[in-house]
Amino acid sequence: MGKIPERPEMIFPQLTADYRKVFGDELVALILYGSGADRHYIPGKSDLNFLVVLTERGMEDLEKAMAVATRWRKSRVATPLFMTKDYIGAALDAYPIEFLDMKLNHVMVYGEDVLTTLEIRPEYLRLQVERELRGKLLLLRQRFLETEGKDKELRRLIRESLPAFLTAFKALLWLLGREIPRERPEIVEAAARAAGVGAETFRKCLLVREGKDNYSPGEIMALLREYLREIAGLCRRIDELSFPTAG
């Protein structure tokens, strides 16, 4: 403990032991999700995100986890999400994107796999995807104006904003019944193609994010305008999707 693990699984035994010591049989599951659960984990840069599932009785003693959570932060283990099975079931309509992402990309560390069997309702997911995309579009427009058209700031905006769309893009592919690629660039491009918006625009944005472009300031400004237009198109495409009403 205290060292940054080269691979997430290196800390699984001790982390499990620590939470088992604190909660005993009230610990239902310990699950890794996020970048640590796929090939995008970078030691020293990526945080490790865990879902801790407790019984209702265990949740009443949540303060027992304070010391453990604090110690593990030295190893870049983020403070876990603590939930009960009932909470997860009741929250699927409010946070379907987040639970879908966990369901598609997680590693069991201990206990019961409460994610694989989750039933994600497409009508709930569509609503949240639209809300997320529209909210991010508003923020993107706002930050675009704040760049004052400066090349460096426009590039920064593209680099920093693109990953924020990733989870929504994966949810969109799931809604459309498309295969979800493993690599992030392919996810972005596949979502653009599936939604009928400009995949080329997102390819260019990915080049900027990776520092592999040679675009002039004028071309970067034009790319940002295309980027805004294609995200707006994604919002319209999501709005056209319809599913049976939940009930």
In CATH terms, the fold of domain 122-240 is Four Helix Bundle (Hemerythrin (Met), subunit A) (1.20.120)
Task: Identify whether the C-beta of residue 230 lies closer than 8 Å to the C-beta of residue 198.
Answer: yes
Task: Identify whether the C-beta of residue 56 lies closer than 8 Å to the C-beta of residue 84.
Answer: yes
* pLDDT value at residue 182: 84
% of the chain surpassing 90 pLDDT: 74
Query: Is residue 247's pLDDT more than 60?
Result: no
Q: What is the Cβ-side half-sphere exposure of residue 92, based on CA atoms within 13 angstroms?
A: 18
Cα–Cα distance list, 22 to 45, 110, 162 (Å): 28, 14, 39
**Residues in Cβ contact with 15 at an 8 Å cutoff, skipping those fewer than 6 apart:** 30, 50, 72, 77, 109
Query: Is residue 244's pLDDT more than 60?
Result: no
Average pLDDT over every residue of 107-115: 98
* pLDDT value at residue 204: 94
Average pLDDT over every residue of 78-89: 97
**Residues in Cβ contact with 108 at an 8 Å cutoff, skipping those fewer than 6 apart:** 29, 31
Average pLDDT over every residue of 114-126: 95
* pLDDT value at residue 41: 85
Q: Please, which residues bridge with residue 32 across strands?
A: 50, 107
* pLDDT value at residue 12: 97
Average pLDDT over every residue of 71-90: 96
Pick the CATH number of 8-111 from 3.30.460.10, 1.10.10.60, 3.10.20.30, 3.40.50.920: 3.30.460.10
Domain boundaries, the chain: 8-111, 122-240
Its pTM stands at 0.84
Average pLDDT over every residue of 40-60: 92
In whole angstroms, give the CA distance from residue 207 to residue 235. 23
